[in-house]
């Protein structure tokens, strides 16, 4: 009987000692990020049948488990992805809004000052000071277009830098997770109930960090390794192997970046995460803003040139172009897989009100051309007869017929604000009159000044209205982004709080448990002392 009592007491001593060790570990990691509270799982040792009765044999430590809930962990990752997306999108969109809406950095004041100077020439067409002011304001206007375009390009470079940082972080996290998968699988030896809690916590923490950058889904294998997927089921991590993301230059613009996974384009595979926020900002805010700015610049320059060329300057010469867009006004990019062929594209002043803030893709196949507007991915019906053709404010001309399939990217407005410059520097070359023989003729200057209020651009908008429409769109996106960011912060905080309540270390609770197991340990020690006394009494009785 004494040995049974002793053995039972010893199991209690070991179990309660292990329990206190677990509590000590919890307390030591109370401020460790990602640590999950651990618990010692105790189980009654199998009883022994003796003399018609089942006699208990103490307690066993079956496992030291961590507090883990799959749904809470998934919620943390989901909310982290949504927060990363909203934060990046709001941060970048706000900068565009500040640029466009600010009177000092935007285009509204520059356009107004320019047309005011044109009106001053119309009021006194022979005044050289008024003409000088107009040429100066013209330079200021084009310089402002150039400056705003440069600022947008700077934001693009900044956004590209963020994307590269995200991709570097993703690759680092995936490598570390794959390494942890290998360690966890080795410890569990292909399956079992004993798992390395610290390694699991580290992996969960890395998965949450990974989710901040890109939205993921996971699948846990029987050996404890976790597979990670992005997009439509593309494997980012499979056991102890992983895929690598890279950032590559677009074929049409070295400032435009494509995201590749093992060489495959996955630009559209991300729905949330800070990487998705950067892509969404580029596609939904930055590109449209740059295209719309170019539309205003191109529309103003072309419309002004057409009217100016109808007048006569102080030298008696026909008016020339006030604004130019360089030798390559509308760039065309050729696909590397093209089987020959070449096209040129020019603005068409007669259909200027159809010009859109969009790129186009012209495809040649089976002897016929097709045109796609890339801003909304809409097929544009080409007039019969093939090329040349004029459509949506541009004229497309074939200079060489492709020998087979071919594709061309046309960018009418994308670089217009960057390329526009003032061609007239001599005040005498301003064509304010329609005839040289009429002193003080301001007919053409009045027509030039009237352009400010004419509905020249698409959707019957003036230049100012078109620009303000863009500013309003960016402002709406900024406001929505701020609201979304606040909501996602709240949801992420709720998810983190739920985990803290479930898996976090509560020092008061740990102190209470420590006292409980300390008392149990002392009680088991007392049983050991009693069993020793009983054993000594038994020995004395038989001597």
Residue by residue, DSSP assigns 318-355 as BP--SEE--TTSS-EEE-TT--S-EEEEEE-GGGGGG-
Q: Is the Cβ–Cβ distance between 301 and 325 less than 8 Å?
A: yes
Q: State the average pLDDT over residues 305-327.
A: 93
pLDDT (tens digit, 9 = 90+) per residue, 24-80?
999 999 999 999 999 999 998 888 877 778 788 889 988 899 999 999 999 999 999
Joined tokens for residue 351: 């259909």
DSSP 53-68: EEE---EEEEEEEE--
Nearest to 318 by CA among 425, 228, 435: 435
| Residue 191 in this model has a pLDDT that exceeds 60 | no
Per-residue pLDDT reduced to its tens digit, 344-362: 999 999 999 999 999 999 9
Q: What is the dihedral of CA 515, 519, 524, 526, to 10 degrees?
A: 150
Mean of pLDDT values over 97-111? 92
Quick one: 116 exposed, middle or buried, by C-beta within 10 A (0-12, 13-18, 19+)? middle
Distance between CA atoms of 221 and 201, rounded to whole angstroms? 16
Q: Is the per-residue pLDDT at 418 higher than 80?
A: yes
Among residues 452, 463, 435, 446, which one has the least CA distance to residue 121?
Answer: 446
Digit-coded pLDDT (tens) for 421-473: 999 999 999 999 998 777 789 999 999 999 999 999 999 999 999 999 999 99
Residue count (the chain): 543
pLDDT: which is higher, 525 or 448: 448
Q: Which residues of 163-196 are buried (b: 16+ CB within 10 A; e: fewer)?
A: beebbebbbebbebbbebbebbbeebeeeeeebb
CB atoms within 10 A of CB 40: 20
Query: Which residues lie across from 400 on neighbouring strands?
Result: 342
Displacement of CA 163 from its chain's centroid (Å):
7
> What stretch of H or E contains 361?
strand 360-365
Query: CA of 357: how far to CAs of 127, 312, 374, 408, 458, in Å?
Result: 38, 33, 10, 17, 9
Whether residue 49 has a cis bond before it, omega within 30° of 0: no
pLDDT in tens, 131-181: 999 999 999 999 999 999 999 999 999 999 999 999 999 999 999 999 999
User: Under DSSP, is residue 109 helix (H, G, I), strand (E, B) or coil?
Assistant: helix
């Amino acid at each position: 009987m004494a040995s049974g009592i002793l053995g039972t007491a010893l199991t209690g001593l070991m179990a309660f000692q292990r329990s206190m060790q677990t509590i000590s570990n919890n307390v030591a990691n109370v401020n460790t990020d990602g640590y999950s509270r651990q618990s010692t799982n105790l189980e009654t040792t199998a009883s022994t049948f003796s003399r018609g009765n089942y006699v208990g044999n103490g307690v066993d430590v079956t496992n030291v488990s961590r507090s883990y809930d799959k749904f809470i962990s998934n919620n943390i990752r989901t909310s982290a992805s949504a927060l990363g997306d909203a934060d990046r999108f709001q941060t970048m969109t706000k900068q565009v809004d500040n640029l466009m809406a600010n009177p000092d950095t935007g285009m509204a004041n520059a356009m107004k000052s320019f047309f005011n100077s044109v009106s001053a020439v119309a009021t006194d067409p022979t005044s050289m000071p008024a003409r000088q002011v107009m040429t100066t304001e013209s330079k200021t206007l084009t310089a402002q277009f150039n400056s705003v375009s440069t600022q947008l390009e700077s934001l693009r470079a900044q956004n590209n830098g963020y994307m590269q940082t995200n991709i570097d972080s993703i690759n680092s996290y995936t490598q570390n997770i794959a390494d942890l998968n290998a360690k966890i699988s080795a410890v569990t030896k292909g399956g079992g109930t004993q798992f390395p809690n610290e390694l699991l916590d580290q992996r969960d923490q890395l998965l949450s960090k990974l989710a901040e950058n890109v939205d993921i889904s996971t699948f846990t294998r029987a050996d404890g390794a976790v597979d990670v997927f992005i997009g439509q089921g593309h494997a980012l991590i499979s056991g102890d192997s992983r895929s690598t993301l890279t950032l590559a230059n677009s074929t049409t613009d070295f400032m435009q970046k494509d995201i590749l996974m093992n060489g495959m384009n996955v630009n559209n595979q991300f729905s949330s995460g800070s990487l998705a926020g950067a892509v969404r900002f580029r596609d939904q805010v930055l590109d449209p803003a740059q295209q719309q700015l170019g539309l205003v610049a191109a529309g103003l320059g072309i419309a002004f040139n057409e009217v100016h060329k109808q007048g006569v300057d102080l030298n008696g010469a026909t008016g020339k172009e006030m604004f130019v867009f360089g030798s390559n006004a509308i760039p065309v990019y050729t696909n590397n897989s093209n089987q020959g062929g070449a096209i040129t594209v020019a603005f068409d002043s007669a259909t200027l009100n159809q010009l859109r803030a969009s790129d186009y893709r012209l495809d040649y196949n089976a002897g016929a051309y097709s045109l796609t507007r890339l801003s909304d991915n809409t097929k544009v019906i080409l007039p019969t007869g093939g090329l040349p053709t004029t459509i949506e404010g541009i004229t497309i001309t074939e200079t060489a017929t492709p020998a087979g399939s071919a594709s061309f990217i046309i960018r009418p407005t994308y670089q217009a604000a960057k390329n526009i410059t003032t061609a007239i520097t001599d005040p005498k070359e301003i064509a304010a009159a329609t005839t040289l023989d009429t002193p003080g003729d301001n007919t053409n200057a009045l027509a030039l000044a009237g352009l400010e209020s004419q509905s020249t651009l698409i959707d019957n908008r003036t230049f100012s209205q078109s620009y303000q429409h863009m500013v309003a769109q960016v402002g709406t996106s900024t406001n929505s982004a701020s609201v979304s960011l606040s909501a996602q912060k709240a949801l992420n905080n709720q998810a983190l709080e739920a985990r803290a309540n479930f898996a976090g270390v509560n020092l008061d609770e740990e102190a209470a448990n420590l006292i409980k197991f300390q008392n149990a340990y002392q009680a088991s020690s007392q049983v050991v002392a009693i069993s020793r006394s009983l054993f000594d009494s038994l020995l004395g009785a038989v001597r």
